[in-house]
Amino acid sequence: MSKIILSIFTILAVFTGCVAHEPPPPFGAVPTHDQIEWQKMEYYMFVHFGPNTFTDVEWGDGKENPKVFNPTRLDCRQWAATAKAAGMKAIIITAKHHDGFCLWPSKYSSHTVRESVWKDGKGDVLKELSDACREYGLKFGVYLSPWDQNHPQYGSPGYNQVFANTLEEVLGNYSTVFEQWFDGANGEGPDGKRQVYDWNLFHQTVFRNQPHAIIFSDVGPGCRWMGNERGVAGETNWSTMNIEGFAPGREAPATNILHEGEIGGKSWVPAETDVSIRPGWFYSPSTDNQVKSLDKLVDIYYTSIGRNSNLLLNVPPDRRGLIHPNDSARLMEFRQIIDGTFAVNLAIDATITADKTRGHSSKYMTKNLIDGNFDTYWATDDDILTAAIEIDFGKKQPFNRLMLQEYIPLGQRVKSFRVEYWDGNTWQMLDRQTTVGYKRILRFPTVMASKLMIHIETSLACPVLNGIGVYKAPEN
């Protein structure tokens, strides 16, 4: 009998051990593999370039003479080299803006580089840029505005197929496209009627040609507009949102929803923050001395990438077809500051403990928070929704940045957390915030402390974190 009882206990121990070692189940909406890889990019370049570059306007009307487009020294390799040196991972170009001008010789338009004097009408900016991106190891993306103030069919039912054909041309004849950028701009056509866009047709065309592309718009479906062009994502920022019944433009969700996402949203639509390095989107000689300051770019970094959003920074080429030295110099300064800030993670040499660990298993221990492996993580048991993680430096250290990352393949979970530091006698409040997501970075005045504590106060499901970083940024 004793042998039977011992066998039963052995079986139970093995069974409960297996259960404890099971990974947490996904919670709510979760990202696709392509969305995860997109989120890891974090930072890339927007390029607004076209007739507006030469006419000094932001929105052309489609009536401009295509011959105004005549860059004298166009060099897409210079753009790519600049983006690479700046630490960017890709370039997205305005292949067609609202004026309808195509930066490639489209057979579906008479308002293109073919009608310009640049290279005697034989040039193709998309080919040059896609080749340059490939050479420099950058991903390539395109913006095609469905609004077309030049095309005679705009405003009629037939235009949707014209635009789909235009998409097919771009997406099928150049490089792999990592992101297709749409907005919902919609003006009146020649007959005074607004175009009713066939978004299903447009999306089908994208995925047929580029099945792994992330589609950007107010409602994704791949990623969403943040709701402003200032470079500021919501302090609360959920990557989930309800998009059914909405569309880009006038039918988009309310701005506060774009800004913050929606807790419990049925779709995974992470945020992308787009902002220009200059006052406008297109180059203007009058803004050569109005490039955003280094401090402003650093602020934008923390209010975009630091708030669970990717950063799409517009850097418009000048009339030569080159990125202006004022812009490129500022980009290099910006990278130097960010690289310097995050060069040394003080948590790596610290002792990290948690009051709760999933199944008491080494598979989910706090060591996973600093191993640099995206796919290893710390977690609690399924029924544990609060926890505390202590970082003990062993001695007093100055620090002023904290980075947290959730393991987003299993969903976004943390709803609120607070941070405290040990002053030698008692725990002092440092900050209290809401969401984490793919990456959350907190800024605060430098403190000297031997310990740091992160309290997860509210989580929608058991918390799952795969990264922690503590840093000392240089101070002016």
Beta pairing, strands 464-471 & 223-225: unpaired
**4-8, 326-330, 426-430, 432-436: segment of lowest average pLDDT:** 4-8
Q: What is the pLDDT of residues 262-273, one digit of tens each?
A: 999 999 999 999
With a cut of 60, say whether residue 15 has pLDDT above it: no
With a cut of 50, say whether residue 62 has pLDDT above it: yes
Backbone angles phi and psi of 227, in degrees to 5: 100, -5
Residues in the chain: 476
Three-class HEC string of 27-70: CCCCCCHHHHHHHHHCEEEEECCCHHHHHCCCCCCCCCCHHHCC
**pLDDT confidence of residue 268:** 98
Q: Tokens 């011959």 appear where?
A: 67
CB contact set of 56 (below 8 Å; sequence gap of 6+): 284, 285, 286
Query: Exposed, middle or buried: residue 69 (CB in 10 Å: 0-12, 13-18, 19+)?
Result: buried
User: Does residue 328 sit in helix, strand or coil?
Assistant: helix
Mean pLDDT over 284-303 rounds to 98
User: Does residue 11 sit in helix, strand or coil?
Assistant: helix
With a cut of 90, say whether residue 7 has pLDDT above it: no
The span from the CA of 450 to the CA of 471, in Å, is: 13
Backbone angles phi and psi of 116, in degrees to 5: -90, 175
Mean pLDDT over 248-255 rounds to 93
**pLDDT confidence of residue 387:** 98
Architecture of domain 33-341: Alpha-Beta Barrel (3.20)
**pLDDT confidence of residue 185:** 86
**Positive/negative CA dihedral, 373, 307, 82, 184:** positive
The span from the CA of 163 to the CA of 205, in Å, is: 10
Q: Tokens 């300051």 appear where?
A: 293
Q: pLDDT band for position 476 (50/70/90)?
A: low
On whether the CB atoms of residues 241 and 267 are closer than 8 A, the answer is yes
The span from the CA of 412 to the CA of 418, in Å, is: 17
Cβ neighbours around 285 below 10 Å, total: 10
Q: What percent of the chain has pLDDT above 70?
A: 95
- Identify the CA nearest to 202 among candidates 175, 224, 221: 221
Q: pLDDT band for position 52 (50/70/90)?
A: very high
Q: What is the pLDDT of residues 113-166, one digit of tens each?
A: 999 999 999 999 999 999 999 999 999 999 999 999 999 999 998 999 999 999
Mean pLDDT over 68-93 rounds to 98
Q: What is the mean pLDDT of the chain?
A: 94
Helices 159-173, 199-209: inter-axial angle, 10-degree rounding = 20
Buried b (16+ CB within 10 A) or exposed e, 424-454: eeeeeebeebbbbbbbbbbeeeebebbbbbb
- Provide CATH code, domain 346-471: 2.60.120.260
Q: pLDDT band for position 343 (50/70/90)?
A: very high
Q: pLDDT band for position 184 (50/70/90)?
A: confident
Torsion of CA 70, 286, 91, 255, to 10 degrees: -130
The span from the CA of 154 to the CA of 56, in Å, is: 25
- Identify the CA nearest to 128 among candidates 200, 197, 75, 50: 75
The span from the CA of 186 to the CA of 307, in Å, is: 30
**190-204, 257-271, 345-359, 402-416: segment of lowest average pLDDT:** 190-204
Mean pLDDT over 274-294 rounds to 98
Q: What is the DSSP letter of 254?
A: P
**pLDDT confidence of residue 475:** 79
Residue 371, phi-psi category: left (phi > 0), alpha (psi -120 to 50), beta (remainder):
alpha
On whether the CB atoms of residues 201 and 215 are closer than 8 A, the answer is no
Type and span of the H or E element at 163 = helix 159-173
The span from the CA of 262 to the CA of 169, in Å, is: 36
Torsion of CA 86, 228, 184, 435, to 10 degrees: 90
Mean pLDDT over 238-244 rounds to 97
Q: pLDDT band for position 191 (50/70/90)?
A: low
Buried b (16+ CB within 10 A) or exposed e, 92-109: bbbbbbbbbbbbbbbebb
**62-76, 179-193, 360-374, 428-442: segment of lowest average pLDDT:** 179-193
On whether the CB atoms of residues 352 and 391 are closer than 8 A, the answer is yes
The span from the CA of 384 to the CA of 413, in Å, is: 12
Mean pLDDT over 205-213 rounds to 98
Q: What is the pLDDT of residues 99-127, one digit of tens each?
A: 999 999 999 999 999 999 999 999 999 99
What percent of the residues of the chain are helix, what percent strand, and what percent coil, each to the nearest 5?
Answer: 30, 25, 45
**pLDDT confidence of residue 192:** 65
Q: pLDDT band for position 14 (50/70/90)?
A: very low
With a cut of 50, say whether residue 233 has pLDDT above it: yes
Type and span of the H or E element at 297 = helix 294-304
Mean pLDDT over 23-52 rounds to 98
Question: What does the domain layout of the chain look like in residue ranges?
Answer: 33-341, 346-471
Mean pLDDT over 27-55 rounds to 98
Q: What is the pLDDT of residues 359-378, one digit of tens each?
A: 999 999 999 999 999 999 99
User: Does residue 284 sit in helix, strand or coil?
Assistant: coil
Cβ neighbours around 16 below 10 Å, total: 11
